[in-house]
């Protein structure tokens, strides 16, 4: 026989009561593996929830993976928790749980609370720590100001494994630390305010992009250890750049070592296949009605905000959680107790999740990827909302890309696609996303969605970006879009950085950099991002010329801006635009500037005249560049 397992616990009776009630939001402090000292000996305390198990043991290199030497003790309180202290092991120990189910199955499972996983395709857990000597105090103390809803938020969405790779070995993934040393200067240069990482949690299948998570508390070992990811986050924070993580409480894969049928029962997933299996992703859906599962998920959300100093969570696939009939045919789902298609348990979970996050971390954001018209996604739970801070504006994204795909000669017939979004833009706190999902699976890169010859494609894309950055709402752009990546995103290779050797791509990067600079320096573009009085149409009906004009307004009138878009390749000279106040109006940005690889058709300053136009008492005549947009500001 090997070393015995000592009876020892970090769990109090209060912990157990909270866990069973679904109200324990810091389970990571008690569950999993923890290096402790007990009876004068250093060792590791293990705790795992497996109520359907008849026996649970810890197996690893330390005992030759023998399932009979280190048996955990089941708690006497009916909680289904197995625990115990094993002396003389510590940080770096590789282990799994060997579980005998009541039905006689023998399972080997990774630790759901493991802080480190083996490098895939290996699947064991590793005893680790999240101890780190943080040096981001300045950011954390000012985060409420940077993350405020009336401050600029321009998000650079990226996948760690394919942003950049080692040029001398394109198959080698860069580490968190190597990425930090390259990413921080790049984000400073381009001017984004936040970085959003596709899921960093451990996932066995790399082409899932991280959305099929097996280790919810483990930073992916493909790029290093927990402290290496902390270094990356800290490096961004030191330069006042926020960090958002994608978080996936909607489903998980059926890998043998993962959460699926963890103790031989439907423990984490819903037993009813109509609620527990996801037909799109062939994955399994959490049982949101089970108290202990809610504690697990909310603890996981708080873990990343607490231990990793993360500034926001973008919650994936919220629509799939909200609707019982999501991607299901008739007969494949069961209505709720009121006869509706809403998943009432998921709705309550999302509300509880948001309440917990904002209670413990009031200066962060939760952002919903939610593609339907569900009401109040970003409204407080106190008024019946789901409680998210923001919601992705998927309708805007689809309409905008549909419009810009059209040949300019046909755009007059689709004019409303760029105006319709303002009808519902203030129902939610919207983020405008041009995300990874739009540049994969045969959808083409953003550049190659654009019509026309090469020059027109680039001009169209610059005009699209100008429209995006001057509309209400916060912004999100996927990596590579900032320099007009030509190929679709491929998770197995680096972005095509060599494109920056060519002037059209270099010009696009300069333009996005200039857009970020203007966006962050002009209060009218962010102070009223989610309220109707921050936006006013000047011209929304000129479908003949495909011209749009609108005002963006800040708290002070002197900050107001006029935006004009000309979305045909026809130059429009002496085009009259109504203005709210007389004086001299200057261009502060023009997408047609030569430095952006435009044609250089730019103006400088326009004097107003007392000619009534577009409902205003005065107007200016300007030159509109082809397939371009301009931002004007009244000279003080």
Residues classed as catalytic: 316, 369
d(CA 190, CA 511): 9
Q: How far is CA 86 from CA 64, 292, 342, 433, 635, in A?
A: 15, 25, 46, 49, 73
Measured from the Cβ of residue 279, the count of other Cβ atoms closer than 10 Å reads: 13
Spatial neighbors of 87 by CB under 8 A, at least 6 apart, are 3, 6, 38, 41, 42, 43
d(CA 376, CA 388): 9
Beta bridge partners of 304: none
DSSP string, 87-140: ET--TT-EEEEEEEETTS-EEEE--TT-SEEPSTT---EE----------HHHH
d(CA 13, CA 543): 68
d(CA 227, CA 244): 17
In which element (H, E) is residue 322 found?
Answer: helix 318-322
Q: Are 192 and 185 in contact (CB under 8 A)?
A: no
User: If phi over 0 gives left and psi between -120 and 50 gives alpha, with beta otherwise, what is residue 264?
Assistant: left
Dihedral (CA of 264, 270, 272, 273) sign: negative
- The stretches of 406-535 forming alpha helices (DSSP H) are 421-424, 446-449, 454-470, 503-521
CA angle, 106 then 271 then 78, to 5°: 65
Three-class SS of residue 168?
coil
CA 612 to chain centre: 46
d(CA 402, CA 382): 37
d(CA 567, CA 45): 64
Beta-strand (E) ranges in 509-571?
535-542, 547-552, 561-566
In which element (H, E) is residue 19 found?
Answer: helix 13-21
Q: Which pair of structure tokens corresponds to residue 456?
A: 């027109």
d(CA 155, CA 194): 5
Q: Are 414 and 403 in contact (CB under 8 A)?
A: yes
Three-class SS of residue 577?
strand
d(CA 370, CA 347): 13
Q: Which pair of structure tokens corresponds to residue 98?
A: 């060997």
């Amino acid at each position: 026989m090997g070393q015995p397992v000592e009876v020892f616990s970090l769990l109090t009776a209060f912990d157990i009561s909270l866990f069973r009630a679904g109200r324990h939001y810091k389970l990571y402090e008690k569950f999993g593996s923890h290096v402790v000292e007990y009876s004068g000996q250093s060792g590791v305390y293990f705790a795992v929830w497996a109520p359907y198990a008849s026996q649970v043991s810890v197996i690893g290199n330390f005992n030759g993976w023998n399932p009979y030497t280190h048996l955990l003790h089941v708690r006497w309180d009916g909680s289904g928790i197995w625990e115990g202290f094993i002396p003389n092991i510590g940080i770096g120990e590789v282990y799994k749980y060997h579980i005998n189910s009541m039905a006689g199955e023998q399972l080997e499972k990774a630790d759901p609370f493991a802080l480190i996983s083996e490098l895939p395709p290996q699947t064991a857990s590793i005893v680790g720590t999240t101890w780190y000597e943080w040096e981001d105090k300045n950011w954390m103390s000012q985060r409420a100001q940077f993350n405020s809803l009336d401050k600029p938020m321009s998000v650079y969405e990226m996948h760690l494994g394919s942003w950049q790779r080692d040029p001398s070995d394109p198959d080698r993934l860069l580490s968190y630390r190597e990425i930090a040393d390259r990413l921080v200067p790049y984000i400073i240069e381009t001017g984004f305010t936040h970085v959003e990482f596709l899921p960093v949690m451990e996932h066995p299948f790399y082409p899932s992009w991280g959305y099929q998570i097996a280790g919810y508390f483990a930073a992916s070992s493909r790029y290093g250890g927990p402290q290496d990811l902390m270094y990356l986050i800290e490096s961004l924070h030191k330069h006042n750049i926020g960090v958002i993580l994608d978080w996936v409480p909607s489903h998980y894969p059926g890998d043998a070592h993962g959460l699926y049928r963890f103790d031989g029962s439907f423990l984490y997933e819903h037993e009813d296949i109509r609620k527990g299996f996801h037909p799109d992703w062939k994955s399994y859906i959490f049982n949101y009605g089970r108290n202990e599962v809610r504690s697990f998920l909310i603890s996981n959300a708080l873990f990343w905000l607490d231990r990793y100093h993360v500034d926001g969570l973008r919650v994936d696939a919220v629509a799939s959680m909200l609707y019982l009939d999501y991607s299901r045919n008739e007969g494949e789902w069961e209505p709720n107790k009121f006869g509706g298609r809403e998943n009432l348990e998921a709705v309550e979970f999302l509300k509880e999740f948001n309440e917990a996050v904002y209670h413990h971390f009031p200066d962060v954001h939760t952002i919903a990827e939610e593609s339907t018209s569900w009401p109040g996604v970003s409204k407080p739970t106190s008024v019946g909302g789901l409680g998210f801070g923001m919601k992705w504006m998927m309708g805007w994204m689809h309409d905008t890309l549909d419009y810009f795909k059209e040949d300019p000669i046909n755009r007059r017939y689709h004019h409303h696609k760029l105006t319709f979004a303002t009808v519902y833009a203030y129902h939610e706190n919207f983020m405008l996303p041009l995300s990874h999902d739009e540049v994969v699976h045969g959808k083409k890169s953003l550049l190659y969605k654009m019509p026309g010859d090469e020059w027109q494609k680039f001009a169209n894309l610059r005009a699209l970006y100008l429209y995006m950055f001057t509309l209400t709402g916060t912004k999100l752009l996927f990596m590579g879009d900032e320099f007009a990546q030509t190929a679709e995103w491929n998770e197995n290779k680096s972005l095509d950085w060599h494109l920056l050797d060519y002037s059209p791509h270099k010009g696009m990067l300069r333009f996005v950099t200039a857009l970020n600079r203007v966006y962050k320096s002009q209060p009218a573009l962010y102070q009223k991002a989610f309220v109707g009085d921050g936006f006013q149409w000047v011209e929304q009906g000129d479908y003949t010329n495909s011209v749009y004009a609108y005002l963006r307004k800040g708290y002070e009138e002197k900050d107001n801006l006029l935006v004009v878009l000309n979305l045909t390749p026809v130059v429009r000279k002496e085009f009259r635009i109504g203005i709210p106040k007389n004086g001299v109006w200057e261009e502060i940005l023009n997408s047609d500037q030569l430095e952006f690889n435009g044609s250089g058709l730019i103006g400088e300053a326009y004097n107003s005249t007392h000619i009534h136009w577009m409902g205003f008492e005065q107007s200016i005549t300007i030159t509109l560049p082809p397939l371009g947009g301009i931002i004007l500001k009244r000279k003080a």
